[in-house]
Structures are given as C-alpha cells and as structure tokens.
Amino acid sequence: MAGLAAGVGPAFAGFEEDLAAVVTVGPKGEGSVEAAEALRRLSDAPADRLPALFAAFADAGPVGRNLLAGAVQAIADDLPPAELAPALIALLTVENPHPEAAALAFGLLRERAPEAADRYLADRGLGSAAPPVRRAAVAAALAKLGENPEPAGLRNLLDAALDRDQVETLAKRLADAGEPVDLKRQFGFLTNWQLVGPFDHRDGVGWDRTLPPEETPGRFDPDATFPSKHPEAGGTVTWQPLTTDEDFGRLDIAGDLTNWKGSAVMLAREYQAPVAGPVTFRLGTPNAFKLYLNGELVFARAEYHRGTKMDQYVIPAEVRAGRNLLMVKLLQNEQDQSWAQSYQMQFRVTDPTGAALREPQPAAAE
C-alpha cells in the first residue's frame, strides 16, 4: 500500500469514474454490478485518496455510503496506526464533514489508535459534527467532572450535548445544583403557534382536498376567517393561539382544545432564522400531516396512530435568513380505539447534527 504522500499511479487513472459508480448506485441496486467492480478497485486505492472517499459521502445514498465505508475500511486496514491516525484526524477536522463519514473516521481512530482518539475527544470532540463523536466526548468529559462539578462545567457540556438522555442527565444535575434548565428552549422546540380548524376530514376527504389556508400557504393573515363543513365548526373558523409549556414542546390539540374526530387543522407560525442555509425540521406526531415552508410543500405523511416520539420525522430543508413561514396541516381520523385518540405535535428546528437552532429571544421590556 502506498503511503499518504504517494501519488496516484496508472492503475488508479479511473478513480473518479469508479467513485461516481459507487456514489450513484440506486436504492434498489441500480448500477450495483458496476459499483461492485468499482468498489474492488477503490479498495486498493492509495491512502491519499481517503479525503475524496470521505467527501463522496455527501453525494451518496445509503447504499453508496455503505460501499464507500467498505473501501475506506479496506484502505485503513493496510496502514500502520502511526500513519493512519493523523490522516483520520485531518478528515475529522474538515469543515462540515458528513456525519456518517466523521463517525466512520472516529470509529477507525478509536479502534486503531485509541490514545489518539482520546486526545481528539478531549481537545475537539465537543464540537464534532458527528453525533456519535459528540456523544462520546460529552460522556468522557462528564466522567472527568466527578461527583460534584461546578455548574459552569455542566453548562458547557449541556451546550454540546445532542442526545435526549445526555441533555436530561445534565439538566437534572444542574437543577440539583440550583440552576434549572428550560428543556423546551434547550432542544429548540417551537412552542407558540396559531391554529385554525376544524375542517372536514370525515371519511378521509381532507387529505387530498386543498383547505382554504392551503390555497395561500405562503401567506398568513391572523384575522382571516374560513368556511368549514366540519359539524363542530359552526360554519366558519378563524385563527387562535395554541401554546405549550410542556418540557418537550408537545402541542396537545385533543387536551387543550377538542379531539375533533374526522378533522383537519392548520397550524402556522413564523420562524426567525439567524442565517440562511440548511436546517432539519424534527417532528413528532401520531397524526397524518403535511409541512409547508414559505409556501412550498416539503414533506407529507398519510399515516395515523403508529406511535410518536421526539424527532420521529427528520426533514432536511433550506431556510432563508430572517422570516420564514411554517405551516402544518394536521389530520385526525375517526378511529375510536383508546390508542387512537391523540391529536398532537412536537416541532423543533436544528442544524443537520441535531443541535437546536433557537430563535432570538425578544428583548426584555424596560
């Protein structure tokens, strides 16, 4: 195996073509024969091609990323730890690495050069773009803090933690130290919305029907009134506030308003983005829903009562700096079983790693 400084010989003249064959393999195996041949050659590539293989994770689908991981593993197996470790650390410190690529690099580092992995965790792990690396760094730092750490140390780890269990652990220890944590804000839940409804969804008619607020999903008028054929609507409906103080941002329509059976409601709010760029919308709901961003449909799921949990749906999107209009169409069917009575939603905004992208807090009144 050639070293990291080695050039690319004639045998790897088709490297870019092989990389493209692996990256473009389809989810149902389209192009898999060509990809398998390409993988065999990529696995013999020199080590100086590791950065290109890691960078390709961003363009590959799940199958392609799995093949890329195989090629990286094969190349790494032929390198001595002293040569592999700095190469992996260099890959971990590039700007915005793909989370799966960064996790793979860290896994190889921990397996082949554990002391270097520990140093990386201590020095840079809390800022890693890879959630598994961030988790390991928080766990290692928390263990070092001991039984009675200063709240400032816990706050520092809370700022880095992404996973719910670590956030809850740190929040409890801070609360025990007299510094309670607002979990809603920590996770970035959007807790104040406007709701209008119920609209008719008996016999499932509301899923395909364009409801009046959906006719202009890029505009929100808080004073608008809409006709509704739902028997409990009274003929017309208008926007009303719906907020929550629940720690995990659960907006409970059935509990706080009414469990309108066979209904659809629309929820709307502005989201103030600090900067333009990629975000992930993370929803939890047992109800069917459609999500609009600035008037464009970005996700839809016609499924009811399959259970719900935090971050049940992770939806990538692009926001613009400043004002963005979010609109959610949420639908409840007519099932009467006890487990089919929830009508609720959680919604938060994060960066691609899962770190909360919180809106600016309003200035305190003087």
Contacts made by residues 207-211, CB under 8 angstroms, sequence distance 24+: 207/264, 207/288, 207/302, 207/331, 211/264, 211/266, 211/329
Question: From edge to edge, which strands make up the β-sheet containing 322-332?
Answer: 240-243, 192-200, 263-273, 322-332, 288-293, 296-301
**Domains in the chain: ranges and CATH:** 15-133 (no CATH), 192-350 (2.60.120)
pLDDT at residue 338 is higher than 50: yes
Angle (nearest 5°) at CA 185 between 239 and 122: 155
Residue 353: which pLDDT band, with cuts at 50, 70 and 90?
confident
DSSP category for residue 126:
G
pLDDT at 6: 39
Residue 10: which pLDDT band, with cuts at 50, 70 and 90?
very low
pLDDT at 12: 61
pLDDT at 47: 83
pLDDT at 4: 37
pLDDT at 362: 64
Q: What is the mean pLDDT of residues 162-173?
A: 95
315/283 Cα distance (integer angstroms): 8
- Using CB atoms within 10 A of its CB, is residue 12 exposed (0-12), middle (13-18) or buried (19+)? middle
pTM of the model: 0.80
Task: Convert the pLDDT of each residue in 180-235 to its tens digit.
Answer: 999 999 999 999 999 999 999 999 999 999 999 999 888 899 999 999 999 999 99
* Stretch among 22-36, 163-177, 346-360 having the lowest mean pLDDT: 22-36
DSSP letter string, 322-357: EEEEEEEEEEE----SGGG---EEEEEEE-TTS-B-
Residue 352: which pLDDT band, with cuts at 50, 70 and 90?
confident
The answer to whether 165 touches 135, Cβ cutoff 8 Å, is: no
Residue 99: which pLDDT band, with cuts at 50, 70 and 90?
confident
pLDDT at residue 13 is higher than 80: no
